[in-house]
Structure 1
Amino acid sequence: MRTTGNTIFISGGSAGIGLAIAKKLQAAGNKIIINGRSEERLKKALAELGDAIGIQGDLSVEADRIRIAEELKNNYPDVNIIVNNAGAAFGYSLAEATNAHEKALIEMNTNYFAIIHFDELLLPHLLQKTEAAIVNISSIAVYGSHKAIPTYGATKAALHSYTTALRQTFEEQKNLGIFEVYPPLVNTEFSSYIGGENGIPPSEVADELFIGLENNQFDIPVGQTKIYAGAIAEAMGKLTQA
Structure 2
Amino acid sequence: MNTTNNTILITGGSAGIGFEIAKLFSQKGNHVIITGRNAEKLEKAAAQLQHVTAIVSDVNNEADVNILAERLNKDFPQLNILINNAGNVSVYSLLDNEANAAEKAREEMQTNYFSVINLTEKLLPLLHKQKEAAIVNVTSITALVPALSIPTYSASKAALRSYSQALRLSLSKNSAIKVFELLPPLVNTDFSKEIGGEKGIDPSVVASDLFNAIQNEEYEVQVGGTASIYKLFLSSPSQALLALNSVE
In 2, Cα distance between equivalents of 1:167 and 1:234: 25
Would you identify which runs of 4 or more consecutive aligned residues in structure 1 move more than 3 Å?
A: 230-235
Range moving further from structure 2, 165-174 or 30-39: 165-174
Aligned residues of 2:10 and 2:22 also touching (Cα < 8 A): yes
Aligned residues of 1:187 and 1:202 also touching (Cα < 8 A): yes
Aligned residues of 1:62 and 1:114 also touching (Cα < 8 A): no
In 2, Cα distance between equivalents of 1:71 and 1:231: 44
In 2, Cα distance between equivalents of 1:44 and 1:152: 28
1:168-183 matches, cutoff 5 A? 168-183=169-184
Distance 1:121 1:25, change over 3 A: same
Q: Counterpart amino acid of 2:172? A: E
Aligned residues of 1:36 and 1:56 also touching (Cα < 8 A): yes
In 1, Cα distance between equivalents of 2:235 and 2:30: 36
Residue 81 (structure 1) aligns with: 81
Range moving further from structure 2, 107-116 or 144-153: 144-153
Q: Counterpart amino acid of 1:154? A: A
Residue 72 (structure 1) aligns with: 72
Residue 221 (structure 2) aligns with: 220
Residue 34 (structure 1) aligns with: 34
Residue 56 (structure 2) aligns with: 56
Identity score, percent: 48
Residue 91 (structure 1) aligns with: 91
In 2, Cα distance between equivalents of 1:78 and 1:234: 43
In 2, Cα distance between equivalents of 1:7 and 1:72: 10
In 2, Cα distance between equivalents of 1:72 and 1:104: 30
Q: CA deviation at 1:49?
A: 0.5
Aligned residues of 1:178 and 1:218 also touching (Cα < 8 A): yes
The two structures have a TM-score, normalised by structure 2, of 0.91
Q: Counterpart amino acid of 2:153? A: Y
Residue 142 (structure 2) aligns with: 141
Name stretches of at least 5 consecutive residues in structure 2 with no aligned partner. 237-248
RMSD, aligned CA:
1.3
Aligned residues of 1:185 and 1:196 also touching (Cα < 8 A): yes
1:78-227 matches, cutoff 5 A? 78-96=78-96, 97-227=98-228
Q: Counterpart amino acid of 1:26? A: S
In 2, Cα distance between equivalents of 1:115 and 1:131: 21
In 2, Cα distance between equivalents of 1:217 and 1:98: 39
